[in-house]
């Protein structure tokens, strides 16, 4: 980790104590040190605005970071955060599309369940609570020491209909 990353991380570590306006101010100071076309700087600026409840200001910055070629692991975070921002802006369908596309690219990696969690929220916000519950339960199932198979089957059944009793875990 370089010095800039460490200083960015320090702001996020102290964010609760700093308050929203101070987070934006400090992140903007760090962003100003980077080239204007730095995708990571755009991502951090977006995240600060998102943190401060300025979703409308965050959205174009997330899109800019992604368009500039933001790389992993920040790229996946930017997609998740952009999708959450879109949901908060009342654009749940756009959020669902973005998250489904992201999930198709990373069905089993370390951030897949985070994508699923935000997809579930977007589905519920878009009026499809059953599909949202299915996605959430499907993500949860893989973490259960007991009833993994049953919960996965029931999650699928919510959107496809009964496929058998599935009561054995």
Whether the CB-CB separation of 51 and 68 falls below 8 Å is answered with no
What per-residue confidence (pLDDT) applies to 162? 74
Q: Is residue 62 domain-shared with residue 12, that is, in the same domain?
A: yes
Among 10, 38, 71, the domain-final residue is 71
56 and 76 together in one domain: no
Same domain, 56 and 83: no
Per-residue confidence (pLDDT) for residue 163, from 0 to 100: 58
- Separation CA 99–CA 122 (nearest Å): 9
Position 84 scores a pLDDT of: 97
Token pair for 107: 């069905």
Residues 78 and 37 in one domain: no
Q: Same structural domain for residues 115 and 167?
A: yes
State whether 147 and 106 are in the same domain.
Answer: yes
Reported pTM: 0.89
Provide block-wise average pLDDT over 10 residues at a time, the chain (169 residues).
Answer: 92 96 97 96 98 97 98 93 97 97 90 95 97 96 94 94 55
Range of the domain at 53: 1-71
Q: How many distinct structural domains can be found in the chain? A: 2
Tell whether 18 and 78 lie within a shared domain.
no
Q: Say if residue 10 is in the same domain as residue 49.
A: yes
């Amino acid at each position: 980790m370089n010095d800039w990353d460490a200083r960015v991380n320090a702001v996020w570590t102290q964010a609760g104590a700093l308050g929203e306006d101070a987070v934006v101010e400090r992140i903007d100071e760090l962003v100003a040190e980077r080239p204007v076309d730095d995708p990571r700087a755009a991502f951090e600026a977006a995240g600060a605005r998102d943190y401060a409840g300025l979703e409308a200001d965050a959205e174009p910055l997330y899109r800019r970071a992604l368009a500039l070629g933001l790389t992993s692991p920040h790229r996946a975070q930017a997609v998740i955060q952009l999708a959450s921002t879109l949901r908060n802006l009342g654009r749940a369908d756009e959020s669902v599309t973005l998250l489904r596309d992201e999930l198709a690219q990373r069905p089993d990696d370390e951030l897949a369940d985070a994508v699923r969690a935000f997809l579930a929220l977007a589905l519920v916000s878009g009026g499809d609570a059953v599909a949202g519950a299915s996605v959430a339960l499907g993500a949860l199932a893989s973490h259960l020491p007991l009833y993994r198979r049953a919960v996965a089957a029931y999650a699928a059944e919510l959107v496809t209909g009964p496929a058998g009793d599935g009561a054995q875990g």
